A = this chain, B = another copy of it.
Amino acid sequence: MDCGRYAIKRVLGEQVVVQAVVFAEGHDRVFARLLYRQAGQEGWQRAAMEAMGNDRWEGSFVVEALGYYEYTVEGWVDRFGTWQEALEKKYDAGQAVGVELTMGAALLGEAAARVGGEAAKELAQWAEALVGTKDENEAVAAALSEEVGAWMREHADEEAMTRYGRRLRVWVDRALAGFSTWYELFPRSCGRGAGKHGTLQDVAAELERVAQMGFDVLYLPPIHPIGRTNRKGRNNVVKAGAEDPGSPWAIGGPEGGHKAIHPALGTVEDFRELVKRTRGYGLEVAMDLAFQCTPDHPYVQEHPEWFRWRPDGTVQYAENPPKKYEDILPINFETEDWRALWEELKSVVVYWLGQGVRIFRVDNPHTKPFAFWEWLIEEVRREHPEVMFLAEAFTRPTVMAMLAKVGFTQSYTYFTWRNTAYELRQYMEELTGTGLAEYFRPNFWPNTPDILPQYLQYGGRAAFVVRLVLAGTLSSNYGIYGPAFERCEDRAVEGKEEYLDSDKYEIKDWSAGERPDISAVVERVNRARRENAALQRTNNVVFCECENEMLLAYCKVTEDLSNIVMVVVNLDSHHRQVGWMRTPLEHLALEAHQPYLAQDVLSGDRYLWQGEWNYVELDPATMPAHVMVLRRRLRREMDFDYFM
């Protein structure tokens, strides 16, 4: 991680496996051990490291508290072990070892002098066993005993050790950071009546439905007052009608800014009540953090120095030339007054922490300084290590990686545009098989209010199921923007990946219309995730060979091999696809000669499979995917109760 500049990430209870190359000149034996501790603690905890061959050593520790851990590695020349080895070889070759035994006793004597106390007495006894007997066989046996070797390694001379020059760090999050299921919802569209502005109380009424589907994070787009000046109308037209509510991301009006709640949504008491009720359903509210202002935001009057002003006396609005976003003013992070600005933005986060929020979805973090995020996240987590930040950055790979390095807990990804088997394998390999796996936690979104991908526009209901299953089983963190997703909303602005009649610019009534509803499939996927620990990690994915490139097959397995999930997805949402696929028996510790049961948790079907190659057939008209739990040992009284 850039020579130790940044921390890797783990969640509570996870293991940190550390490898180090440890060597010395010459032929002496070396030893290595891992030192680790919670940051701020005195002294180190030690873990043995094991030689892997070619001077590579490996050790591990488990993180058991939130916050930072640090670790490093120590190596030393194992003089006593080297001496033991030489003694044994000489003795076996029938050479005289009298002088050797004297030298070993001297090594023990030095150790005794170093450690003192009771241990010194024990060492003196060992030394005596080497030189105090006339029976050389007996002396050699004592000298070579595993006990004395282990003792000498355990109490190796600290002064003779070489410690790696850096203390590397691990940031430890709570479990939700590694396994979370997000549902995004526009509060104002929860009113359940054409044009009726929903309230936070209406959101509360949705909780049962959302919980029923199996989500644990309820992410709300900004709930703040919306500006009037240059407000955008339906479908992003430049002039809003009198009734148009504007984009929730156009934050700030006379009613207040980032610490205020849109009056039509309710009060801060309503919000606190919602946070509380959400927790009652096993969910948490995720708040949107969009650091930008409308021209009506109080900051513009109070802190004109936080914005850019043009030579014509107007304030600079956001733009991506020739596109203009006249309703939004970017904050000028290069202001001379940046310290006050940073503190104020931190106070926004602190305010919502006070209202019970512990998760923030950060809008466009890549357009604000990395240094700001690193500072803000560090500041917040010092008191609240349980807080999570999701980076909504769809930008270049280096920038997305950098945001994860500076502290974001989870990140949006390119999954949204990875459709083919090749692309998905490649991308998963990048996320799980490179350094990214240590610090970049992907959160897969098949759709967002900003993105209705082409795959969903042209694939019908099956396409939604395909993307749902992929997101929910490839990544342990995923989310959908609903009800657009589970109601299979596929109407886009012509030629674009934007929703037609988007939630972003109007109040939607999702109860109306006759769209399909895949809520039941969502529920089954989320239930499979909850019930199968193998799906609660991302980095354990293993792709399976498949003769048909339209079928993507992969498995996930827990470290103890007790839970195996095999997923097969027909990526072709239009046609039935069939093919033979290979189960990596060796990886799953399955035996070629024993049948195993594949229980599909989506359809309830059960297949008796055997050996490596098995036949699969998936019809998008019914169900384009298998999510199968593999049962290793088929007992006589078969475990049929999985779906009963």
A25:B369 contact, CB within 8 angstroms: yes
| Complex interface residues of chain A between 112 and 130 (CB less than 8 A to chain B) | none
The answer to whether A310 touches B99, judged by C-beta atoms less than 8 angstroms apart, is yes
Task: Write out the residue numbers on chain B whose beta carbons fall within 8 Å of the beta carbon of A366.
Answer: 25-26
Cα separation A93 to B402 with both chains bound (whole Å): 34
Contact of A396 among B54, B322, B368, B396 (CB under 8 A): B54
CB of B86 within 8 A of CB of A321, answer yes
Q: How far is the CB of A28 from chain B (nearest CB, A)?
A: 10
B89 pairs with A321, CB closer than 8 A: yes
Complex contact B396–A55 (CB within 8 A): yes
**Docked CA distance A85–B54 (Å):** 53
User: A3-B3, A99-B310, A311-B102 are known contacts. Are A23 and B322 too (CB-CB below 8 A)?
Assistant: no
* A98 CA / B311 CA spacing, docked (Å): 10
Shortest distance between the CB of A179 and any CB in chain B (Å): 29
| Alpha-carbon distance between A85 and B322 when the two chains are bound, in angstroms | 10
Q: Is A301 an interface residue (CB 8 A)?
A: no
Given contacts A102-B311, A322-B89, A399 and B23 within 8 Å (CB-CB)? yes
A374-403 interface with B by 8 A CB criterion: 396-399, 402
| Contacting residues, chain B, for A21 (C-beta < 8 A) | 398
Q: Is the CB of A367 within 8 A of B25?
A: yes
Minimum CB–CB distance from A554 to chain B (whole Å) comes to 27
Take A25-B370, A321-B89, A322-B89 as given contacts and tell me if A311 and B99 are in contact as well, using a CB distance cutoff of 8 Å: yes
Q: Give the most central of A320, A321, A366, A397: most B CB within 10 Å.
A: A321
A290 at the interface (CB under 8 A from B): no
Say yes or no for A434: interface residue by CB 8 A criterion: no
Please encode chain A, from 301 to 321, with 1 for each CB lying within 8 Å of some chain B CB and 0 for all others: 000000000111010000111
In the complex, which residues 476-494 of chain A have their Cβ closer than 8 Å to any Cβ of chain B? none
CB-CB nearest in chain B for A93? B322
CB–CB B106/A23 < 8 A: no
* A8-B234 Cα distance, complex, nearest whole Å: 60
Nearest CB in chain B: distance from A342 CB, A: 14
Chain A positions 82-105 with a Cβ under 8 Å from a chain B Cβ: 85-86, 89-90, 92-93, 95, 98-99, 102-103
Smallest Cβ distance from A317 to chain B, in angstroms? 12
**Cα A86 to Cα B324 with chains together (Å):** 11
| Complex Cα gap A598–B102 (Å) | 70
**Alpha-carbon separation in the docked complex, A518 to B3 (Å):** 52
Given A99-B312, A396-B55; A320-B25 close (CB under 8 Å)? no
CA distance A367 to B102 in the complex (A): 25
Check A396 against B25 for contact (C-beta < 8 Å): no
User: Hey, what's the 0/1 contact readout for A416-434 against B, CB within 8 Å counting as 1?
Assistant: 0000000000000000000
Q: Which residue of B lies closest to A311 (CB)?
A: B102
Is there contact, CB below 8 Å, between B102 and A27? no
- Chain B residues near A312 (CB-CB < 8 A): 98-99, 102
Looking at A93, A103, A311, A402, the one whose CB has the most chain B CB atoms below 10 A away is A311
State the Cβ distance, A95 to closest chain B Cβ, in Å: 6
Flag A595-631 by CB within 8 Å of B: 1 or 0 each.
Answer: 0000000000000000000000000000000000000
On chain B, the residues within 8 Å of A319 by CB distance are: 86
Report how far A596 CA is from B260 CA in the complex, Å.
78
Distance between A84 CB and nearest chain B CB, rounded to angstroms: 11
A89 partner residues in chain B, CB cutoff 8 A: 321-322
Residues of B contacting A92 in the complex (Cβ-Cβ under 8 angstroms): 322
Q: Which residues of the other chain, B, contact A310 by a CB distance below 8 angstroms?
A: 99, 103
Would A95 and B370 count as touching, CB distance under 8 A? no
Q: B311–A367 contact, CB under 8 A?
A: no
CB-nearest residue of chain B to A55: B398
Is the Cβ of A398 less than 8 Å from the Cβ of B25? no
Q: Which residues of B contact A397 (CB under 8 A)?
A: 54-55
Given contacts A55-B396, A102-B311, 14 further A-B contacts (CB under 8 A): A3-B3, A23-B398, A25-B369, A25-B370, A25-B399, A26-B366, A54-B397, A55-B397, A85-B321, A90-B322, A93-B321, A95-B322, A102-B312, A103-B311
* 28 pairs of residues in contact across A and B, judged by CB atoms under 8 Å: A21-B398, A23-B396, A23-B398, A23-B399, A23-B402, A25-B366, A25-B367, A25-B368, A25-B369, A26-B367, A54-B396, A54-B397, A54-B398, A55-B397, A55-B398, A85-B321, A86-B319, A86-B321, A89-B321, A89-B322, A90-B322, A92-B322, A93-B321, A99-B311, A99-B312, A102-B312, A103-B310, A106-B311
Please give me the 9 A-B residue pairs with the lowest Cβ-Cβ distance, nearest first.
A93-B322, A89-B321, A3-B3, A102-B311, A55-B398, A86-B321, A26-B367, A99-B312, A89-B322
